[in-house]
Chains A and B, each alone.
Chain A
Amino acid sequence: MNRTASMGLFSAVAIILGYVETLLPVFTGIPGVKLGLANLVVVFLLYTFSWKEAAVVSVIRIIVIGFLFGNLFSILFSLAGAGFSLAVMTGIKKISGMSIVGASIAGGVTHNLGQILVASVVLENKNLLLYYFPVLLIAGLITGFLIGLLSAEILKRTAGRNRL
């Protein structure tokens, strides 16, 4: 498969995961908290290709999901979360001594924080950030951990295969 075709495929998977997430009511309680299922694709791409491929697929996913289920605001919030998270994960990947699980945890936490940060700026409400900060940290930790474990497993199983 060539690079463009595989990017299209990964975007489709990310969009489906993002859609599945909108069907889950469990994580909608707090603004900014998401399961971040689509982050699985981002973490995988970051570790198999580079941050550029991960960024391209992220942006495509956010714009498509945003136009289907949200509006301009939700696109803005998602971009803030995803951008912040990808930047931090890219940095952590370069640090020796941290595994893909650590990077994914950092990504999950910063994803949530980026979203609530933009939300409290746009809404001019600092209490929003303060009150939900601890919840967002823990939620990001748990989802990041699970997605990290899953990504590690997928990487292990696809390693050595002549992929793409």
Chain B
Amino acid sequence: MKKRDFVLVGAVLAAALLCWLVPRALGIFGRTQDTELVITVDGEEYGRYPLSEDQVIKINETNVCQISNGEVNMTEADCPDKLCMHQGPAREQGQTIVCLPNKVVLEITGETQENQADSVAQ
């Protein structure tokens, strides 16, 4: 390895650290309380579900996900790769489970209707 290789390694590490710290410092990611599961199919919102309630959600005819103990998992999928079923559990704001072939995204968001009402009231 040459000197510029080490410069590159340093730059990648610094960029990774920065991109990890800044969104968490700003509160965009990382929250685990008062969060909701947002399901989108093909870019359209399919539904919102509080993580505090255990339930099984059928997403059209293609996927099934489950909320239990504040965590989300994809439990059934008819896609060829089944990668989505191995991505969970998701429980932190910003985490996603993606089924690319079916264009299904499960995302944990902190922008719940309740939180938004709070910020308006302030």
Contact = CB atoms under 8 A, between A and B. Distances in A.
A96 B116 CA distance: 53
B2 A31 contact: no
A128 B8 contact: no
Interface in A120-161: 122-125, 127-128, 130-135, 137-138, 140-141, 145
Q: Is the interface of B mostly helix, strand, loop or mixed?
A: mixed
Contact of A71 (B8, B15, B80, B96): B80
Nearest to B102: A73
Interface string B1-43: 1111100110011011101100100001100000000001001
A158 B96 CA distance: 44
B103 A122 contact: yes
A109 interface: yes
Interface stretch (B48-56, B57-65, B81-89): B81-89
Contacts, number: 105
B23 A119 contact: no
Interface stretch (A8-16, A56-64, A97-105): A97-105
Q: Using C-beta atoms within 8 Å of the partner chain, give the interface range for chain B.
A: 20 to 34
Given A101-B5, A138-B12, 9 more contacts: A70-B80, A74-B81, A106-B8, A123-B105, A125-B43, A130-B94, A131-B29, A133-B16, A133-B19
The 9 closest A-B CB pairs, nearest first, are A102-B5, A124-B43, A134-B20, A137-B16, A97-B4, A131-B94, A134-B16, A31-B98, A134-B19
Interface of A: 25, 28-31, 69-71, 73-74, 77, 95, 97-99, 101-102, 105-106, 109, 119, 122-125, 127-128, 130-135, 137-138, 140-141, 145
Interface of B: 1-5, 8-9, 12-13, 15-17, 19-20, 23, 28-29, 40, 43, 80-81, 83, 86-87, 94-96, 98, 100-101, 103, 105, 107
